[in-house]
Structure 1
Amino acid sequence: MGVLVDVVDYDATVARVIAAAEQRRPFILTALAVHGLMTGVSDRRHNARLNAFDMVVPDGQPVRWALNLLHEARLREWVSGPELTLRVLRRAAEQQLPVYLYGSTARTVGRLVTTLTRTVPALRIAGAEPSRFRDAEPGEYARIAKRIDASGARLVLVGLGCPRQESFVHAMRPLLAMPLLAVGAAFDYHAGLLSYAPRWMQRGGLAWLWRLVLEPRRLWRRYLVLGPRYLVRLSAQKVGLWEPSVPAPSHRPVEPAPV
Structure 2
Amino acid sequence: MNDFAKTWRPNLIAGEKVVSIAPKPAAPAIRIVGAPVSLVTMERVLSIFDSWVGSGRDRIVLLRDVHGAMKARRERNVAIAQENADLVLPDGMPFVWMARLAGKSPISRVCGIDLLPAACRYGVERKWRHFFYGASPAVLETLSKRLNELYPGIEIVGTLSPPFRPLTTAENADHIAQIRAAKPDFVWVSLSTPKQDLWMNEHNGKLGGVTMVGVGAAFDINAGDIPRAPLWMQKSGLEWVYRLMCEPRRLWKRYAVTIPAFVVLGTQELVWRRFGFEPRTKPPLA
Pair in the same fold by TM > 0.5:
yes
Tell me by how many angstroms 1:203 deviates: 2.0
Q: Please, which moves more after superposition, 8-17 or 42-51?
A: 42-51
Once the two structures are superposed, residues 221-240 of structure 1 have per-residue CA deviations (whole angstroms, 9 ceiling, x without a partner) of 22222111111111122224
Does the 8 Å contact 1:112/1:187 carry over to 2?
Answer: yes
Does the 8 Å contact 1:17/1:27 carry over to 2?
Answer: no
Structure 2 residue corresponding to 1:126, chosen from 139, 153, 157: 157
Label 1:142 to 1:17 Cα distance change in 2 as closer, same or farther (>3 A). Answer: farther
Q: Of the two structures, which has the highest relative contact order with CA contacts closer than 8 Å and spacing of 6 or more?
A: 1
Structure 2 residue corresponding to 1:216, chosen from 248, 251, 254: 248
Q: Please, which moves more after superposition, 53-62 or 39-48?
A: 39-48
Which structure is larger by alpha-carbon Rg, 1 or 2? 2
Tell me by how many angstroms 1:59 deviates: 0.8
Q: Report the AA paired with residue 228 of structure 1.
A: P
Structure 2 residue corresponding to 1:158, chosen from 176, 189, 199: 189
Q: Secondary structure at the match of 2:62?
A: strand
**Could you tell me the TM-score, scaled by structure 1's length?**
0.88
Structure 1 residue corresponding to 2:266, chosen from 198, 219, 234: 234
Q: Please, which moves more after superposition, 234-243 or 193-202?
A: 234-243
Q: Please, which moves more after superposition, 131-140 or 146-155?
A: 131-140
Does the 8 Å contact 2:73/2:79 carry over to 1?
Answer: yes
Once the two structures are superposed, residues 142-173 of structure 1 have per-residue CA deviations (whole angstroms, 9 ceiling, x without a partner) of 33221111113221111000000111111111
Q: Work out the number of aligned pairs and report it.
A: 245
Structure 1 residue corresponding to 2:205, chosen from 166, 174, 180: 174
Tell me by how many angstroms 1:126 deviates: 0.5
Tell me by how many angstroms 1:20 deviates: 1.5
User: C-alpha separation between the residues in 1 aligned to 2:272 and 2:76?
Assistant: 21
Q: Give 1:78-227 correspondences, 5 Å limit.
A: 78-176=109-207, 177-227=209-259
User: C-alpha separation between the residues in 2 aligned to 1:221 and 1:27?
Assistant: 33
Q: Please, which moves more after superposition, 141-150 or 98-107?
A: 141-150
Q: Please, which moves more after superposition, 178-187 or 217-226?
A: 217-226
* Counterpart residue number, 1:244: 281
* Counterpart residue number, 1:3: 35
Label 1:39 to 1:160 Cα distance change in 2 as closer, same or farther (>3 A). Answer: same
Any runs of at least 4 consecutive aligned residues in structure 1 with deviations exceeding 6 A, and if so which? Answer: none
* Counterpart residue number, 2:104: 73
Sequence identity, in percent?
A: 29
Q: Report the AA paired with residue 146 of structure 1.
A: A
Does the 8 Å contact 2:98/2:270 carry over to 1?
Answer: no
Q: Please, which moves more after superposition, 12-21 or 180-189?
A: 12-21
Tell me by how many angstroms 1:245 deviates: 5.5
Q: Secondary structure at the match of 1:174?
A: coil
Label 1:27 to 1:46 Cα distance change in 2 as closer, same or farther (>3 A). Answer: same
Once the two structures are superposed, residues 51-87 of structure 1 have per-residue CA deviations (whole angstroms, 9 ceiling, x without a partner) of 1101110012112112223x32134521111111111
From the two aligned structures, give the one with the greater strand fraction.
Answer: 2
User: C-alpha separation between the residues in 2 aligned to 1:21 and 1:143?
Assistant: 24
Q: Report the AA paired with residue 110 of structure 2.
A: V
User: C-alpha separation between the residues in 1 aligned to 2:83 and 2:47?
Assistant: 21
Q: Please, which moves more after superposition, 203-212 or 136-145?
A: 136-145
User: C-alpha separation between the residues in 1 aligned to 2:115 and 2:124?
Assistant: 14
* Counterpart residue number, 2:92: 60
CA RMSD of aligned residues (A): 1.9
User: C-alpha separation between the residues in 2 aligned to 1:81 and 1:21?
Assistant: 19
From the two aligned structures, give the one with the greater helix fraction.
Answer: 1
Does the 8 Å contact 2:57/2:205 carry over to 1?
Answer: no
* Counterpart residue number, 1:254: none
Q: Please, which moves more after superposition, 136-145 or 166-175?
A: 136-145
**Could you tell me the TM-score, scaled by structure 2's length?**
0.80
